[in-house]
Structure 1
């Protein structure tokens, strides 16, 4: 579009757009430059605190998993009955004591060896015996006398007893019960304990467990916490006592006087050693411990100086760009409108494959993209509706197959039930073998299609079950065309037809029944036939069966109706079942399906 004539240029919409765009953009850039710098400093600090808090949260979860695993170990010891017997001294004789000691030794040794982090395990009994396992001693497991009364008066022991079976965590420090070894005395351990109660009596305290573990795994987590800048991570009580820290760092003394908020987690600013620090903390579940990270504030906002310089240059660049864009906007504002109208007309005519090229990055570009997304979504919904119909058809097919399979299983189980009552135990093994073979073939790795040869084997497995039930009630002749043995067919089409011939044709027959089953190739398809010399079907009932094969809302002729529906859903409406019968002569059921390689 051309601008208006030169004499009215100052009143043209193009010039007004130019002035408005230039002034508004220049003013906006100046204000936003100032605000963005101010806000960016605040956002950087806030984001750094959030990232640091997320890091602390992840580390706390890892530490909590470790501590929970330690607690679970102590729970196993708490409920070990042989250990309770050893502590209380409930032995019948000396040999009983020796056996009990050996059992406890094996239990504790296996428990310790399952995790190679135990330094020592002290089980202090109040009545008869105490036990200790330590990696320092050469024997490992040691049997000790009952607890010395002075030991029970120590603060750590009293705290465990007062907890009444709950875990008491002491943190990382030196051992409360050191062994006379320089290596042991100078080695920090993570200690926790719990009272041992008499589970066979009134629940009174019969001893104390003090578990000491190598703190390397806890220290490793503290050491691996990375705030992308220099900082410290440690575990402390709300009272200010340090529970654990990275051995390679030294913490300021002012931390013992640090008063953090009562919240379970958060950030906190404090001045420590003359420097502003950002402190992030999270309370560890079930304790009064806090996982704390401490980062110098200056390291978090060091990028703001670069942002300030960048903002000034960016503002100047935007002013220049504003002049250019103001002129271009007035001249070419009409082009995207006409482009949109053109493609809207194409869509209205039914062409949903059109797409507006994304050549702009302004509001019109967003409008173009929204228009493209809208057309794509409309086309997608149309396609989804088509796919849903296909899925509905497939689901119906699978449901029908499942119903056919269940129908056979119910009849087979019923046969096994009655034979077991009539014959007590004879023939049951034969039927169970046939049933297991049938189920194995039925599963066939979840495949819906099997070869004709596999389908024949499936029918023969079923016949072996029925022969065991009916004994000499009927004879079977099976004919299989060798040229179709490896063609693919639906798995559960054939057995229900054979089942119907036995139950409805031969079972009520006086004398010996004959069953002829065949799979033969006919033209380009497979003809499956089941013929019996049973009682036959009256003409009116036969017509009723034929009419109900195509219906889905009635309960009669359940098996045949489902098979016929399954054939038509899978292979097409031109395929299906054919029934011929004469009273006193017998019945013939034929199935014609296409050959599938």
Structure 2
């Protein structure tokens, strides 16, 4: 009866579901890993091993090619060719000194031999046996001057009072005077076989692997086990296919005494030597298999531990946590009015109270930030707007001063009347937005004053669509642009007459106002900094174009503002883009 009750309990169901949900992804992962992931990893691992062998083969190619170039340098040396051409009068000491200079220039060369007639000249290690004892001189003499690579052999060398075994491979070729094509003798260069081994030694990670270099006839010329040097691989299962391979690098799979193996090879371009690495498949993928077994063991252990903890804490822990998670999710989605019902006094209850406190503080902080941002924007807008007044007032008063000086007091009344109208629009009793028609009227009053100052050296045309005159825009955005056109277009006494045109039209629900002139334009070094937030150098300050741009962006967003199109000595076109919707909607008649 107790067993039936336990089976029907929520705790048992929760534990059973948990175990199933844990086991299912583990089993699914194992199947996917075995059938797909393992194959991919194995392929990548094989490609990595092939690439390592290829890179080692490239390294060997570089070594052999470097030795070949060294022999070319010997053949091209004029002093050597001259000495060999005049064997009877050869200065033997000087010739050996010449050979020694070549020998000491290389650390990877152990000996250099030159056979000229019956004489042998050599520098390098002191060998017990003479060259004729192991080198088919007659066979080398039958060549036409091409390079012959002589297989690695064991030699005894003398060092102080002792004799030691060492393995060398050699480069051999005829010495030919390229001017007369006369055969002057034979050259051999001995190189320590350890140089070859060092190029692939990093690929050896255990005794299971085999790696060696064989020539195109299958004779081993380098091997970590020196006793195998000189042996042939022709009878091996993989040998025929590798020796006949035309590809630069690759691999073949084969079975050796029932064991599946892979032979990876890379071909040296210089002499068709093959670098071969043989690895059993099980050894190549041993780390992958170890990872798979570790994952299985971790999965089983995880199921056992999870089941144990679910048995202890299933109902009491999960239910309040799930309820809390739901409320937290609502808060995450923006509902900051949630509150957790904290009945208990344990850790979960304390967590609920902390969550409620956090939500209350977040609401308070968000409201505070919204209010601060609104206030900050208002202040910024007021500061930017206020910058216009002192700048403009200075220019206006300066104009009146020049007018009074030149013309006396006759035009003062007109100038002061225009100034009063300008100041009334500027103050405008706290209104930030005025109609385009009012802004144009403001510009006309400003032009009246400037005509008196500049003696009517400029003209201004208005090309305004009737439907756009009722659009509401931030006040005082056109006057600074016109001011720039006049001041910098007429700053030279002999400047040509200035023509200014103001256009307004609607384009794709956007109000476009253009102020263009035929003035001197804006220099590139000034143009690139003119709309930056900081104060710019030269004549355009933040009180002018930059001020207008910032005010528009503060009011309507980053999508709006001013654009400047100018070419030095060919005029300037300032394009003001404003929204034409909502409060600033252009009332275009159908």
* TM-score, structure 1 as length reference: 0.43
Flag the structure with larger Rg: 2
Which structure has the higher relative contact order (CA within 8 Å, separation 6+)? 1
Q: Tell me the TM-score normalised to structure 2 length.
A: 0.44
